[in-house]
Structure 1
Amino acid sequence: MDHVLINEGQVKIRIPPFEKVSSRAPVFYNPVMELNRDLSVLAIQQFKSEIEKGLSICDAFGGSGIRGIRYAKEVSGVEGVVINDVNPRAVALARDNSLKNGLNNITVCQKDANLILRLCKGKFNVVDIDPFGTPSPFIDSAAVNLPRNSMLAVTATDTSALCGTYPEPCIRKYGSKPLKTEYCHENGLRILAGFLSLSFARYKKFLTFKFSHSTEHYLRIYATISKGAKKTDKSLNNMGYIAYCPRCLNRQVFYGMAPLVDARCPRCEHSLRVAGPLWCGDIQDSDFISGMIEKSEKLVLNRRKDAMKLLKLCKAESKAPPTFYEIHTICSKLKISAPPLMELLDLLKAAGYMASPTHFTPTGIKTSAPLELVEELIEELVERRNINAEA
C-alpha cells in the first residue's frame, strides 16, 4: 500500500491514505490535531523545566505514532517514550516511523490503554490520553499509577456531551450535568477538570491545572499531580455548581459538593438552570503558559501563529472568574447592536475590574465586573457611537 508522507515539527512520518478522519481509518491520524500536538510539545517541555529528573512518557493512544515521536525528538530530557495502540497496523507503522526518524528511546506496544497504564505502575511521569471520543474509561488507570510530580494530559472529543447538546451521556460518563449556554465550552472544560480531580482524589492525589483550552472539536487539559490526603481534601473545595438564568443571563457560582443552590435568579426571579458538579477553581496557570510561550522560540511549530494567539489569550484570562459574557448575546437581549469589544474592555479596566478577551470565542469577554455594569457600559458605548454618527 502506498503511504502519504507527513512533515510535522521536526519529524517525518508515513501514514496510509484515508478519505476522512474516522476511528475506522486503517491507522488513526488527525491532521486537525497538529495544533494540539504543537501545544503538547510546548507544555511537556515546560513541565520538564520545572522538575529535576528526566521524562518517561506514555502515549496511550499512539495511532501513527506522530505524537510520541514528536515527544521523543523535540522535547529535551526525554529518557523514554512508550507508544501504545491496540491496532496491530498502527503498532507496526509507529515502530517503522520511529526507526525512520532515527529514534532509539521509543518502545511501541500493542495493549489496551488501561492495561498498559496498570501494568507500568510508577514507570511514567507523563501520561497522554488522547482517545477517539471520551477519555473517561481510562482516567482511573492513570490516577492509580501516576506518582507525585508527574503530568497528565487529556483530550476529550465528545464535546456534544460535555457542552450540553446531549446531557445524558455527560451524566453517565462524567457524573455531571452540563448546560447548553453561551459559555458551554468552558462548562465542558470545567466538567472534565472536575471529573479528573474526583478520580485522582480517590487515591489521595490532587491536580493543579496548568493549561486548558477548547479548540475546534475537542477539549484539552494539562495538569500536574501532587499527593496528600489533607491537601487533596482542600483542593476539592474548588468543586461546585454554576447556576444560569436564561432570561437575564445572570450566573452564580456555588462552591461545594452539596451546596444550597437558589431556585430563582436573584436578579429577575426566573428559574435557574444548574450545571455540575464541576471545577470552579483555576484552569490556567499564567507562569506555566508564559514558560510555554518563551520555549516556543526554540522549537519548530507548524502552527506557531495559532499556538501563540491561543496561549496569549489563555494567559490573559488566567485569573478570571468562571464563565464569560458573550457580547452579541447580551446585545440581542438589550435589542442593540454590539460595540467594539476592545472599547468595552478598556472601560471595564478603567472602572477597576479585571477584563480580557477569551480564547473560547472572539466575541466573548472574561471579567470580574457584575453583569449589570457590563450591560450599562455596552449601552453607554452604543449611545456614544450613535451620537457621534448623528454629529
Structure 2
Amino acid sequence: MLEPLHVVHQRLRHHPRAVPWRVRFSMGLGRGARSREITMLAPATAAAPVLSRVHNGVLLLNPADVAIAAPEHADGLPEALAALQALHSIPIHLGTRPPFNPEERPVDLPATEVPDRPTPVPGTLAVGLDIGGTGLKVCAMRDGRALRHAQAPTWPEGARGVASLIERSRALVLEVAAGERVGSLGVGFASPMGIGGQVVGLSTVMQQRLGGVEALQGFAERVAEGITDGPIAFFNDLANLGLSLSGEGRRRLLRLQIGTSFGGCWIDADGTVNPAELGRLVVDAAPDARPHTYLPLRGAMKSYLSNYGIGLTLNALLDEEVPARDVGFRWATLNRQADPRGPELVDWVVTLLRGVVAEAVAFLPGLHEVELGGAMLQDATGRLIRRALDEPGWPVRVGLSRNPGYDGAVAAARAPLLDTPLRGVRRLGA
C-alpha cells in the first residue's frame, strides 16, 4: 500500500508532539555563498521520514553542505543519519540547536535575460542520437524542424560490447541522414558524466553489456567517423535535455522523464540547469516500500516510475510477466482499448507523481511548471496522466512534452550549439 511521503509529513505536522526540525542546504562554500532552508514540524520520534525529505532536498538542490538542527533526544537519529550519509558524498552535519539566522529567507533569483542559443547555419542537417538503457532513438533536423526519426533496441538479443553499439548507432544515424551530408552530431548517453564528457559510471545494464567506463573513450568520435566533419557533442542525456529547454527560454521548470529509469532536471529562474538523480527521490514512506534496485534505500522512484517499477505493477494487474522493453507498449495498448487495467495503472502513477511534485514544491521556491516526457508516456498514456495531474487547485502547471520518447534525440541534435549554464554533478561534454 503506497504511503506518499508528503502525506506522511502532513500528518506529522499536526501531531500533538510535533517540534521544529530545521535544515540548511548551503549551495556553496566561503563568503557570498547562498543557502536555502526548510523547517519541518514532526515529533522527535520521526527521524526516518524527516531525513527522507532531507535526502530528497540533496537530490533536488545539489548543495555543497547540509546542516540539520534536530530536536534533543530524537529517536533513531544516529541510524537514519548514517544511512543518509552513506548515500551522498557531501558533508551532512548534525546539531541540537538551530545555528541559523531567524531573519534569513530562502534565496530565489528573479528571472533574468540570458543570450539566446546560437542558430545553426541555414540548411545544415543536425542529427541527434539518444542512447537509453532500452532503446536507441535518432532524429535528423534542419533549421529547427524535425525531418526524420528512427529507433532500435539498445541491446538486441545476444548483443554486447562497445563495437556492436557503435555499429548499430552509426546505422541509425545514416538511416535518418538519408544520403545527405550530416553537419553536426550530438550523442546523449544515459550515464553520469564528468567535465569533458567522461563517463564516470554505468547502469547495471550497461555494465553487463559494455564492461567498464573505459570502453566509452572516444565513443562519439567513433560514431561520427566518416559521417560528419562538423561539431560533435557527447553528454548526459537528461542534462542536455535541460540545456535544450533552457535555451528555449523555459524557466522555473521541473522536467521529469519516465523511461528505462526515472530522472529529471530543474531549470532555475536564471536559466541554470540543475540535473538531479530523481530515481533516488523517496516518495513512498510505507514500511514495506519497494527496495531500490542497488542502493540501501526504500520507496525511491527508480523502483516505481521506471519501466522496471511500472512493469512490476503491470505484471500484477495482468497476472503475467511482461518483458521490460514491452511495458510501455502494453500499457499504451490497454489505454487505447479502454481496458480498465490501463487507467488503474495511470491512477497509480499519478499518485506517485503527485508525491514527486510535492517534494519539488517543498524545496524549489517559485516552481512554476512541471513537464513530463519519456518513452513510457507516448501515445494515449501521456495524455491521460497529464489530464489527471492538471486539475484545479494543483500548485503548478503540468504539461506533456511535444515528442515523448524522442525529445532526448531532438535535444541531442541541438547540443553542439548549446550555450546555456549547467550546474550539478553532470556537465556537458565537449
- TM-score of the pair, normalised by structure 1: 0.23
**Structure of higher RCO (CA pairs closer than 8 Å, 6+ residues apart):** 2
Higher helix share: 1
- TM-score of the pair, normalised by structure 2: 0.22
